């Protein structure tokens, strides 16, 4: 057998993992050396299959180069003293390359394990690993703890954690996975906004500039606003706090917490939000994904359906044109496709039917919202409670007043029902823990429907 053939057999045997005991005597020694090097190397975790395939292809392609010249060498008679003569220098070089590459190249030490999968919905994203190296992602990629994700403009991406929690990233968002466990997720939000879907009672938190928003089983959106933030709760409830503050603020479903810097700390305002005032494109995107995943929609239920052509970005605000004194301006109208007027057969005046002028139905104006007049603690009787008073800003026929309360656990629920009336009403809630935050609002019921709903008030 030629030296070339023997060297090739060794390469194939080493690649296939043949044990020394199952190889010819001439090959057993080198195979034993390969096994010894593998055992002394750092514990192999997972072979890199792609690199191994590339190595095998390259060695096969370069085989003639590695063993060139051995066919021209004179064939020496074999003897006991030269039983290893078949291991010519070129073959030894090839064997050494196999051993070194197998030990140092194929068996690589993997990076930190991925704790989430990043999937790019639109555009692209960038993952910055722990060494600071950036990786552009247009499809999907694993993301490990302490790695960052950056989503540029006109892009959106979704982080799905191994514990089934979800973080959706809007364009312009930069977020870092600051901690992860079987029942924990901690995100550090540097810029942008992230919609969080928390499942399985996970201890889930988003931190921006020292302000922490925590939740266990809810859907909420955190939007970075320079050094402050806005936290919108769409389902369930969250808790907002920051360092050196002894208070934790509960924010229930349908409410937003606006946190702004104030001195060495922050100021917080909690109020209800109107879906019409928010970014429809972002809300509809998350509402549709939540519905597809079978999650409760909470405050997103009344959101307008997504257009058939998909979610469109909000229209840019119209800015008035600048004019100089005395300059005439022509009102600008959006370009439209010219409409073809339908043609009708010509008729004589005697046969032309007379049509009554058509008028468009006029929609009745929406009833004005109710305004909460006052809310105060009732300490006269020595018990903890809250007195809620409200009045309407217009003459609305109200059949029933429904007091709704949110104690921070399950969103707003119908709490009490009172006789209607256009002037307003009042209600005393005795079941109030003064150390706990509650939210109240009042709904005006007319003809079985909610005609108007008041703003939200809180005891904190």
Mean pLDDT of 414-429: 78
Q: 263 versus 454: which is more confidently predicted? A: 263
The pLDDT value given to residue 137: 96
What gap in Å lies between CA 446 and CA 264, rounded to an integer?
48
Which residue in the block uniquely carries the two structure tokens 């810029």?
Answer: 191
Which CA distances in Å does 59 have to 28, 54, 107, 272, 460? 21, 9, 17, 68, 73
Q: 442 versus 25: which is more confidently predicted? A: 442
The pLDDT value given to residue 48: 55
Confidence of residue 66 (pLDDT cuts 50, 70, 90): low
pLDDT in tens, 137-146: 999 999 999 9
Q: Does residue 165 contact residue 197 with C-beta atoms inside 8 Å?
A: yes
Confidence of residue 251 (pLDDT cuts 50, 70, 90): very high
Confidence of residue 98 (pLDDT cuts 50, 70, 90): low
Q: Does residue 70 contact residue 90 with C-beta atoms inside 8 Å?
A: yes
The pLDDT value given to residue 312: 52
* Weakest mean pLDDT among 180-194, 267-281, 368-382: 368-382
Please give the domain boundaries of the chain with CATH numbers for all domains. Answer: 3-73+84-106 (no CATH), 114-283 (2.60.120.1440), 370-458 (2.60.40.10)
Q: What is the mean pLDDT of the chain?
A: 74
**Residues linked to residue 207 through DSSP beta bridges, in sequence order:** 188, 212
Which residue in the block uniquely carries the two structure tokens 């066919």?
Answer: 71
Q: 238 versus 329: which is more confidently predicted? A: 238
Output the CA torsion 286→287→290→292 (10° steps): -110
Say if residue 399's pLDDT is above 90. Answer: no
Q: 27 versus 301: which is more confidently predicted? A: 301
What are the DSSP calls for 107-133, one per residue?
SPPP-SPEEEEEEEEES-EEEE-TTS-
Mean pLDDT of 382-410: 72
Q: Return the percentage of the chain with pLDDT > 70, whole number.
A: 57
Q: Return the percentage of the chain with pLDDT > 90, whole number.
A: 37
Q: What would the two tokens of residue 458 be?
A: 């809180």
What gap in Å lies between CA 314 and CA 278, rounded to an integer?
10
What gap in Å lies between CA 34 and CA 47, rounded to an integer?
15
The pLDDT value given to residue 460: 72
Confidence of residue 299 (pLDDT cuts 50, 70, 90): very high
Residue 69 C-beta-side C-alpha neighbours within 13 Å:
6
Q: 38 versus 457: which is more confidently predicted? A: 457
What gap in Å lies between CA 251 and CA 326, rounded to an integer?
54
Q: 460 versus 203: which is more confidently predicted? A: 203
pLDDT in tens, 35-56: 666 655 555 554 555 566 666 6
pLDDT in tens, 341-395: 444 444 434 444 444 444 444 444 444 445 443 445 444 333 567 888 877 665 5
User: pTM (2 decimals)?
Assistant: 0.50
The length of the chain in residues reads: 460
Say if residue 68's pLDDT is above 50. Answer: yes
* Weakest mean pLDDT among 32-41, 193-202, 273-282: 32-41
**Residues linked to residue 400 through DSSP beta bridges, in sequence order:** 419, 445
């Amino acid at each position: 057998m030629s030296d070339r053939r023997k060297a090739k057999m060794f390469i194939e045997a080493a690649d296939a993992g043949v044990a020394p005991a199952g190889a010819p005597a001439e090959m057993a020694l080198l195979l034993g050396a390969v096994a010894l090097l593998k055992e002394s190397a750092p514990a192999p975790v997972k072979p890199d299959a792609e690199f191994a395939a590339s190595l095998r292809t390259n060695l096969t392609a370069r085989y003639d180069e590695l063993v060139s010249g051995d066919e021209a060498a004179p064939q020496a008679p074999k003897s006991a003293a030269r039983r290893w003569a078949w291991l010519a220098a070129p073959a030894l070089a090839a064997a050494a390359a196999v051993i070194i590459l197998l030990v140092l190249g194929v068996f690589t030490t993997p990076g930190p394990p991925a704790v989430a999968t990043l999937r790019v919905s639109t555009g692209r994203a960038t993952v910055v690993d722990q060494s600071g190296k950036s990786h552009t992602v247009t499809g999907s990629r694993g993301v490990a703890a302490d790695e960052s994700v950056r989503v540029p403009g006109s892009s959106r991406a979704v982080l799905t954690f191994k514990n089934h929690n979800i973080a959706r990233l809007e364009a312009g968002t930069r977020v870092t996975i600051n901690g992860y466990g079987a029942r924990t997720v901690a995100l550090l939000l540097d810029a942008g906004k992230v919609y969080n879907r928390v499942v399985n009672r996970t201890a889930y938190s988003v931190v921006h500039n020292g302000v922490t928003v925590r939740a266990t089983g809810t859907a909420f959106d955190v939007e970075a606003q320079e050094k402050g933030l806005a936290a919108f709760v769409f389902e369930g409830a969250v808790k907002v706090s920051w360092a050196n503050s002894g208070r934790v603020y509960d924010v229930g479903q349908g409410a937003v917490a606006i946190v702004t810097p104030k001195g060495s700390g922050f100021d917080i305002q909690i109020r209800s939000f109107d879906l019409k005032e928010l970014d429809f494109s972002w809300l509809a995107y998350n509402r549709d994904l939540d519905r597809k995943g079978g999650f409760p929609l909470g405050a997103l239920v009344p959101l307008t359906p997504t257009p058939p052509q998909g979610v469109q970005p909000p229209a840019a605000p119209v800015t008035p044109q600048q004019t100089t004194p005395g300059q005439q301006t022509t009102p600008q109208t959006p370009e439209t496709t010219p409409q073809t007027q339908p043609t009708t057969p010509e008729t004589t005046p005697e046969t032309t039917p007379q049509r009554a002028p058509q008028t468009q139905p006029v929609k009745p104006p929406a009833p004005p919202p109710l305004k909460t007049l006052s809310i105060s603690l009732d300490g006269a009787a020595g018990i903890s409670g809250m007195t809620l008073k409200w009045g309407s800003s217009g003459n609305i026929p109200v059949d029933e007043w429904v007091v709704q309360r949110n104690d921070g656990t399950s969103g707003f629920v119908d709490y009490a029902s009172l006789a209607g009336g256009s002037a307003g009403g009042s209600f005393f809630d005795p079941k109030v823990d003064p150390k706990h935050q509650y939210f109240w609002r009042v709904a005006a019921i007319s003809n079985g429907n909610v005609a108007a709903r008041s703003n939200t008030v809180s005891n904190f």
